[in-house]
Amino acid sequence: FLAASATSTSPSQAIQPVLELPYAAKDAKRAASAVPFQLPTQLISFSYTPDRVLEFNDSSLRYFVDPPRGAQLSYGYDRWVRRPEERGRLDSLLKAWQKFGTERPGVLGEVGVVSWRGVMTKILTAPYEERDDWELNVMLVGGTMYFEEHLSEEKLQSKNDVEPRHRIQMYYGYSFESWCTSESPSPASHSGNPSQPTSDGHPPGWGGDVNTNVQWCSVVKTKLGNTRMVIGGEVDCVRGRYTGKTDNFVELKTSLTIRGASDEARFEKKLIKFYFQSFLLGVPEITVGFRTPSGVLSTVQSFRTIEIPRLVRGKPGAWDPTLCLEWGDRFIRELRDAIDVHSPPDKRNDGNLSDLPVWRVSFSPKVGITVKQLDDAGIMDVEAGDDEQRIGFLPKWYVEYALD
């Protein structure tokens, strides 16, 4: 399954893959062996303000409250402040990681991977992905691989030009977050008749108008097999008081109300994404709001993240998380090996920073993964697009800090 070949540096020749990993879950003919995954622990957290300013505090942290049944998820749609889709830059995560490293130097040892949680979710669920392809940019700096999702101009544009029907469905997810959270820890649940406005003019239980600039993010350390990883991601809210630990984090999700066996199978299939998204940050609880097609909240059900695999086992929409972990571990090890083998020794570290290679990982559903080294035009494309000075996709300040 592994075809390694020399990287072409001539611009006139197509660049050959340095690694090919074909894969699909149905190809797994034997039981997956268990690759251990260490329980994530939080290193640092940060907030984005309504103006999308990063602050090292917990000002954007939200607290869970029970949402009113019958709540209208389209409420406030016309007041939604929507953050434009961006390229998946690592800058904020790197700022947090640098801050942690400066305040507590050397506590972690060698880290193999630094990534946003969304990218790790895509990697781990790839064996079961049947529809969406994706691409990553990868750099190896001082022994650590950095992963960034690569969005082509075309993909970025289509993510921003969402059809109205899809746009409102997206809003339902954010609106559910508002109905489920408050800005202060309070034992009281949202109550009352959701159609009766309160003194602030909003229906009771409304947690405030949606501004998707606002996010609270947790950066955790964990380990997959022998690879230590630093992963950052958004956490929707906490249940009760915030203690700085992941054990009362809550992930909020919406889904269409289940009306029959085929709906149920569809939901079970979807649970793999919910599961890994939460698992990777150590989020122990996933609260799902089931809604009607027109956005009325009908029921709410909480799942314990660790129990989800057992829930789907043997069902029509079944998936096996051990297979995903084994695949993820193999992907990381073989990617690292391929990069090591194909990196010119003089370009690997110090000296010529601007020559650091950038690798492109491409995933096709039911086919697998290929890895290529980007040529100069590819690197220029990755570096372009914002004001920050970059080496590949990493900010220059970070590469200098990391290799110092």
Pairing of strands 297-304, 285-291: antiparallel
Beta strands 249-256; 285-291: pairing state? parallel
Instruction: Establish if 129 lies at the interface with ligand A3P (CB under 6 A).
Output: no
Instruction: Give the binding-site size for Mg ion (rule: CB under 5 A).
Output: 3
Is residue 22 a contact point for ligand A3P (CB under 6 A)?
A: no
Question: Could you say which residues in the range 229-288 bind ligand A3P, by CB under 6 A?
Answer: 236, 253-254
Asked if 183 and 47 touch (Cβ cutoff 8 Å), the reply is no
* Contact between 170 and ligand A3P per CB under 6 A: yes
The piece of 1-9, 133-141, 169-177, 303-311 that touches ligand A3P (CB under 6 A) is: 169-177
- Contacts (Cβ under 8 Å, ≥6 apart) of 51: 213
Residue 215 binds to ligand A3P (criterion: CB under 6 A): no
**Binding residues for ligand A3P, total number by CB under 6 A:** 7
Q: Which one, 22 or 88, has the nearer CB to ligand A3P?
A: 88
For 131-135, the CB contacts below 8 A with 24+ separation are 131/365, 132/365, 133/362, 133/363, 133/364, 133/365, 134/363, 135/360, 135/361, 135/362, 135/363
Q: Is 206 in the site for ligand A3P (CB under 6 A)?
A: no
**Nearest to ligand A3P of 16, 213 (CB atom):** 213
Cβ distance 362 to 17 under 8 Å? Answer: no
Closest approach, Cβ 189 to ligand A3P, in A, equals 20
Task: Report DSSP letters for 289-315, one per residue.
Answer: EEE-TT-BEEEEEEEEGGGHHHHHTTS
Comparison of 236 and 383: residue with beta carbon closer to ligand A3P:
236
Q: Which stretch binds Mg ion (CB under 5 A): 147-155, 233-241, 296-304, 365-373?
A: 233-241
Choose which of 174, 275, 303, 331 interacts with ligand A3P (CB under 6 A): 174
Q: Taking contact as CB under 6 A, which single stretch among the options 96-104, 119-127, 141-149, 173-181 is the one that binds ligand A3P?
A: 173-181
Nearest CB to ligand A3P, comparing residues 242 and 290: 290
- Region near ligand A3P per CB under 6 A, out of 35-43, 170-178, 330-338, 378-386: 170-178
Residue among 130 and 350 whose Cβ is closer to ligand A3P: 130
First to last CA, the chain: 38
CB closer to Mg ion out of 249 and 327: 249
| Cβ burial, residue 178 (10 Å; 0-12/13-18/19+) | buried
234 contacts Mg ion (rule: CB under 5 A): yes
Nearer to Mg ion, 19 or 252 (CB): 252
Q: Which of residues 245-264 bind Mg ion (CB under 5 A)?
A: 252
Angle, vertex CA 295, rays to CA 183 and CA 155, nearest 5: 85
Residue 398 near residue 32, CB atoms below 8 Å: no
Please report the beta strands in 197-273, taking only residues with DSSP state E, as ranges in sequence order. 215-224, 227-234, 237-238, 249-256
Q: d(Cα 281, Cα 320) in Å, to the nearest integer?
A: 19
Q: Which range binds ligand A3P by CB under 6 A, 2-10, 58-66, 172-180, 324-332?
A: 172-180
Q: Cα–Cα–Cα angle for 394, 331, 358, nearest 5°?
A: 25
DSSP of 62-96, one letter per residue? -EE-PPPTT-BTTTTGGG-BPPPP-----HHHHHH
**Quick one: DSSP state of residue 39?**
P
Question: Which one of Mg ion, ligand A3P, none interacts with residue 170, CB within 5 to 8 A by kind?
Answer: ligand A3P
Q: Does 236 bind Mg ion (CB under 5 A)?
A: yes
> Among 66-74, 109-117, 216-224, 227-235, which window interacts with Mg ion (CB under 5 A)?
227-235
Q: Does 173 bind ligand A3P (CB under 6 A)?
A: yes
Q: How far apart are CA 132 and CA 122, in angstroms?
A: 10
Answer for the pair 90, 146: CB distance below 8 angstroms, yes or no. Answer: yes
- The encoded tokens of residue 264 equal 């149920």
Which of these ranges, 4-12, 120-128, 168-176, 302-310, lies near ligand A3P under the rule CB under 6 A? 168-176
Residue 217 interacts with Mg ion (CB under 5 A)? Answer: no
Binding site for Mg ion (CB under 5 A): 234, 236, 252
Binding site for ligand A3P (CB under 6 A): 170, 173-174, 176, 236, 253-254
